[in-house]
């Protein structure tokens, strides 16, 4: 089955020409500047979506197909299949941050928290502004009971994208919880 998927992906690569995007895309710097400068929710949402669309597009047909198949498997709650696709993806293109991020998400979902943290560290080595990975890191640390590390990760996520209202709420709640525990 894996061989068939790779052959299909190769065919897609040959059949289509795709522009290179990913965490190295030069448009990201401007998008992050605009994201941090705006106070308009709608504009922030549009910019955030544009960042995600750049991150998810590797420019490599095999990688694009593997990420697409992995996301479909995640949506179907077939985490074993999703993990297989993302394993193939990070092996095929280890410098593609979103491959590691998607695998980290699946690992978190199936309760493999330390493995998720390890993959998040790879994401952040490639794209330190990856607010999704930083938010995920905070969630992992919360599961492990490391509230101080969770706070730090959430602060970094909000530094990259100050419009993450659920992360801001989680950060506020966590800080309150820490204060109450220290009383």
CA 31 – CA 109 distance, rounded (Å): 29
How far from chain centre, in Å, is Cα 156?
A: 14
Residue 13 has pLDDT above 80, yes or no: no
Residue 22 lies inside a defined structural domain of this protein: no
| Residue 87 forms part of a structural domain | yes
pLDDT beyond 60 at 12? no
3 state DSSP class of 95: coil
Runs of H (alpha helix) within 38-96: 41-56, 61-75, 79-92
- Assessment of whether the complete model's pTM goes beyond 0.95: no
Closest Cα to residue 162, out of 123, 127, 126, 134?
134
Asked whether 131 and 157 are in contact (CB, 8 A), the reply is yes
| 19 falls within a domain | no
DSSP 59: S
Q: CA-to-CA distance for 10 and 57, rounded, in angstroms? A: 16
Count the residues in the chain. Answer: 183
How confident is the model over 74-80, as a mean pLDDT? 98
Q: 24 falls in which pLDDT band (50, 70, 90)?
A: confident
Q: Confirm whether 162 is domain-assigned.
A: yes
Whichever domain contains 70, its CATH number is: 1.25.40.10
Could you tell me if residue 77 is inside a domain?
yes
**pLDDT digit string (tens) for 112-151?**
999 999 999 999 999 999 999 999 999 999 999 999 999 9
Domain hosting 171: range is 2-14+27-181
The CA distances from residue 15 to 4, 8, 18, 60, in Å, are 16, 10, 10, 12
Looking at per-residue pLDDT, the higher value among 182 and 161 belongs to 161
The predicted model gives 72-94 an average pLDDT of 98
Number of domains in the chain: 1
Domain annotation covers residue 20: no
In a domain, 129, yes or no: yes
Quote the CA–CA distance of 28 and 156 in Å, as a whole number: 17
pLDDT at residue 21, rounded to an integer: 63
User: What is the torsion angle, in degrees rounded to the nearest 10, for the CA atoms of residue 153, residue 101, residue 78 and residue 4?
Assistant: -170
């Amino acid at each position: 089955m894996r061989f068939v998927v790779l052959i299909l992906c190769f065919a897609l690569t040959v059949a289509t020409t795709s522009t290179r995007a990913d965490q190295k895309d030069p448009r990201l710097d401007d998008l992050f500047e605009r994201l941090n400068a705006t106070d308009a929710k709608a504009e922030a949402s549009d910019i955030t979506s544009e960042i995600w669309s750049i991150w998810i597009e590797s420019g490599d047909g095999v990688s694009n197909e593997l990420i697409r198949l992995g996301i479909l498997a995640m949506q179907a709650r077939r985490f074993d299949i999703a993990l297989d696709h993302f394993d193939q993806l990070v092996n095929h293109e280890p410098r593609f941050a979103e491959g590691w991020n998607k695998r980290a998400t699946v690992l978190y979902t199936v309760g493999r928290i330390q493995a998720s943290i390890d993959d998040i560290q790879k994401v952040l080595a490639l794209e330190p502004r990856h607010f999704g990975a930083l938010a995920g890191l905070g969630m992992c640390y919360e599961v492990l009971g490391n509230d101080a590390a969770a706070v730090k990760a959430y602060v970094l996520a909000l530094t990259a994208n100050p419009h993450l209202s659920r992360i801001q709420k989680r950060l506020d709640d966590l800080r309150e919880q820490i204060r109450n525990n220290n009383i």
